[in-house]
Structure 1
Amino acid sequence: MKVEKVVTNKHKIEFLAFPARLFSGDSNYIRPLDKDIDGVFDPKRNKFFRFGECERFLFLNDQKVVVGKIAVFINKKYKQKQPTGGFGFFDCIDEEETANFIFDFAKNWLQQKGMEAMDGPINFGERDKFWGLLTEGFSEPLYAMNYNAPYYKKLFENYGFQVYFNQLCFGRKIHNPVADKFLEMHERISKNKAISAKRMKVKNLEKFAIDFTEIYNKAWANHGEGKQLTNAQTLKLFLTLKPVINEHISWFVYENEKPIAMWMNIPDLNQWFKYLNGKFGILQKLKFLLMKKLTKNKKMVGLVFGIVPEWQKKGIDGFMIWEGTKHFRKATDFEDYEMQWIGDFNPKMMKIAESLETEVTRKLATYRFLFDREKEFERHPVL
């Protein structure tokens, strides 16, 4: 087996192209945008290079044909019980010997950096993108979600990886009946004249960013691994989302104009990007804009659902769900709803997902491998 570090343009192109060849016969595979993958490995675009390092490698057989690839990295802010490195963007043919060679290579690279364990497949970045191995629900992936063949699970577990935590996605059909309890909540809360629901509109983006920040910081930032957001950070995020915001599917609830709850959703971008073959140049951008106007996107993705503590368990969730649902059923073509993944270490968020009358649509796993095989393995602590 020959190993080539990704340094040349030819290497970089092959790193992007290999999965597309590997899954060419899989109708569910959607090639990620090249720019999104490239951005992970660009020190100018990825802040994690400030406190870590990352390298990519291609693996070739004796016939000089690429049979696998991987990225390996260390992140000084990734605090674990033992020094733990990461790897991601792993792809490999269905051959255990080849996979073991790649895993051994990653292990040795990380050991040389002082690591005692490795997690994967994860991202050299935040958890919201390219994180986890798909183990159940082999349907079209959501935007920036990992996708792999079913045999990957066998390759990981036969090597000795163990599940550090599972990542669950929840979804439902938009036109399925809404539970009576939500309708009852809606009817009761509607009698309170101080409560109102508003859908997010682009012309008032700055106001909604401020409202989002207030709700988020009260509802989630102090829970588990949450982080406080600033208005500037939220506005920057909203401006990034602006081109794909659908004004019918994100909702805020107010008490006398004070924000108390929000339900943020966007269209699933992969329903458009799957026609671009990973490219996003001028022609593809024009095609994307044209498809947005002419092609019906039937899937929406849940980003955040939050209620300030003083209004939790009082029926605001049912009020907001039915206000939003009855509107976007009429105003949009969406048929399916799926939430971004929730870790099984977060029962509070899982309970919220279940309360929305969803069911598990897919499961991914974050695996861990301890280099000391005698050391006791521990799963991610429950929040």
Structure 2
Amino acid sequence: MKPEKFHAVVVDRKEQIKAFLDFPSTLYKNDKNWIRPLDGEIEKVFDPSQNHLFKTGDAIRWLLFDSSNNLVGRMAAFYDKIGAEKNEQPTGGIGFFDCINNQEAANILFDHGENWLKDKGMEAMDGPINFGNRDSFWGCLSEGFYEPVFNMPYNFPYYNQLFENYGFKNYFNQYTYKINIENRKPAGAIMERAMRLKRNQGYYFETFNLKRAHKYVGDIIHIFNRGWAEFKGVRKMQKSEARAIIEELTPILDPRAVIFGYHNNEPVGFYVMIPDLNQIIKKFHGKFGLIQKLRLFFDLKILKKPNRLIGIVFGVVPEYHGKGVEAGLVMRMEEEIAKPGFPYKSIEMNWIGDFNPTMMKLVEKIGGEIYKKHITYRYLFDGSKPFKRVNEP
């Protein structure tokens, strides 16, 4: 009997987990732009004690080998019942996909994902996405093959063809805008609106206060659940999630780059940026032990090494759209940038979906230009059903 050209193995042992984490280092060894994510950032996605989505879902991982038992690919599949049901058809996901440039190999991984998700009651799958928040490991890079920022995906150009040849279609685009801080020219109209808002005594904007970090848990929940939870596939944020976000961000954030907006003491918007840790951790090779933690602290807090900010999220609750809150957040950030000693040279505003033209226009008005594009693909298991892009009627 002729041996199979490729075969997949479920990841369930310690040495297989290590192989899953190490494989991209071999695949991208000649690509100077690729940066290995921290192993812990990936592993917490698959740890039920750290990922609340396991309460209403599940995940599985595979390794792909060729006939000579060489590792040639990896992938994960997952679903969350609550998020799945927010789509027209129950939709799961695949992610952490890496593969040699071979359609047959990729198809075997995609087939495993489809079959596993079908068994879980799913009727479609999105990919490559994260089993968690959209701000990490989400999307297939299709334009702007530059060095990735922290926890943003990077891949070879041929990945798009592997997905599309299988039958995946473009569900939405995610744009990364780059703002050159030294050459930025915020539109005059934005600053005028901000000045008008500033004269309204009910509004105020503040930078993150490390001594009152716990206060922002409720503010984040309020803004996020009003501003994002109505989008397809996005579930409401729980208090435990918001608390975890604050606990994770507090040690690494620069308080000057996190702005909250309020109206009559009610949170109405935020503008959250962090230093790009990839400028430091790219030499860690995925590890984050004591030595790496000390190195990170020294480079981040003492040397102020990162010169690039990552825009994680910029949002305003729907009731305050068009009232100038966006302009107020921008102006408060401009005040921080203008102060002596501001160390950053550029901002990369990540994850601006093409389904949010208002946000795209705003970022362009403050000097942003499209720098990268990622694609979130969707594959319907029943090919006879009509495909719809996100928010398409």
- TM-score, reference length from structure 2: 0.86
Q: 1:124 aligns with which of 123, 126, 131?
A: 131
Deviations 1:146-174 (A, max 9, x none): 21111101111122211122222223111
The Cα of 1:126 is off from its aligned counterpart by: 2.8
Compute the displacement of 1:231 (Å). Answer: 6.8
Indicate the residue corresponding to 2:41 in structure 1. 36
Q: CA deviation at 1:67?
A: 0.6
Q: Post-superposition shift, 1:188? A: 4.1
1:365 aligned counterpart, secondary structure: strand
Q: How does 1:154-173 map to 2 (within 5 A)?
A: 154-173=161-180
Displacement, 1:117?
A: 2.5
Q: Which moved more, 1:353-362 or 1:156-165?
A: 353-362
User: Which segment drifts farther, 191-200 or 35-44?
Assistant: 191-200
Q: Structure 1 residues 241, 22: closer, same or farther in 2, change over 3 A? A: same
Match of 2:375 in 1: 365
In structure 2, relative to structure 1, the CA distance for the partners of 1:294 and 1:92 (3 Å cut) is same
| Higher deviation after alignment, 367-376 or 27-36 | 367-376
What is the match of residue 108 of structure 1? 115
Q: 1:122 to 1:214 in 2, by over 3 A?
A: closer
Preserved contact between residue 117 and residue 368 of structure 1 (Cα < 8 Å): yes
305, 316, 326: which is aligned to 1:296? Answer: 305
Gaps of 5+ in 1: none
Correspondence for 2:65: 60
Give the one of 280, 288, 311 matched to 1:280: 288
How far apart, in 1, do the equivalents of 2:331 and 2:362 lie? 15
Counterpart of 1:322 in structure 2: which amino acid? M
Select which of 356, 359, 363 maps to 1:353: 363
Tell me by how many angstroms 1:241 deviates.
1.2
Alignment of 1:175-186 (within 5 A): 175=182, 176-186=184-194
Give the 3 Å change call, closer, same or farther, for CA 22–39 of structure 1 in structure 2.
same
2:279 pairs with one of 259, 264, 271: 271
**Using the alignment, how far apart are the partners of 1:220 and 1:106 within structure 2?**
31
Q: 1:345 to 1:20 in 2, by over 3 A?
A: same
Moved more, 178-187 or 59-68: 178-187
Please give the alpha-carbon distance, in whole angstroms, between the structure 2 residues aligned to 1:251 and 1:114. 42
Q: Does 1:249 align with 2:257?
A: yes
Aligned-residue identity in percent:
40
| Pair 1:202-2:210 in alignment | yes
Are the counterparts in 2 of residues 251 and 264 from structure 1 also a CA contact under 8 Å? Answer: yes
Q: Provide the rounded CA distance (Å) in 1 between the counterparts of 2:124 and 2:362.
A: 33
2:354 to 340, 344, 347: 344
**Cα RMSD after superposing both structures:** 2.7
In 1, the alpha carbon distance for the partners of 2:93 and 2:317 equals 35
For residues 10-32 of structure 1, give each alpha carbon's deviation from its aligned partner in whole angstroms, at most 9, with x where no partner exists: 11111001111111111211111
Partner residue, 2:155: 148
SS at match of 1:341: strand
Aligned to 1:325: 334
1:11 pairs, out of 13, 16, 27, with 16
Letter in 2 for 1:248: R
Change (3 A) 1:198 1:49: closer
Q: Give the whole-Å Cα distance in 2 for the aligned partners of 1:308 and 1:65.
A: 50
Change (3 A) 1:57 1:215: closer
Of 307, 314, 327, which aligns to 1:305? 314
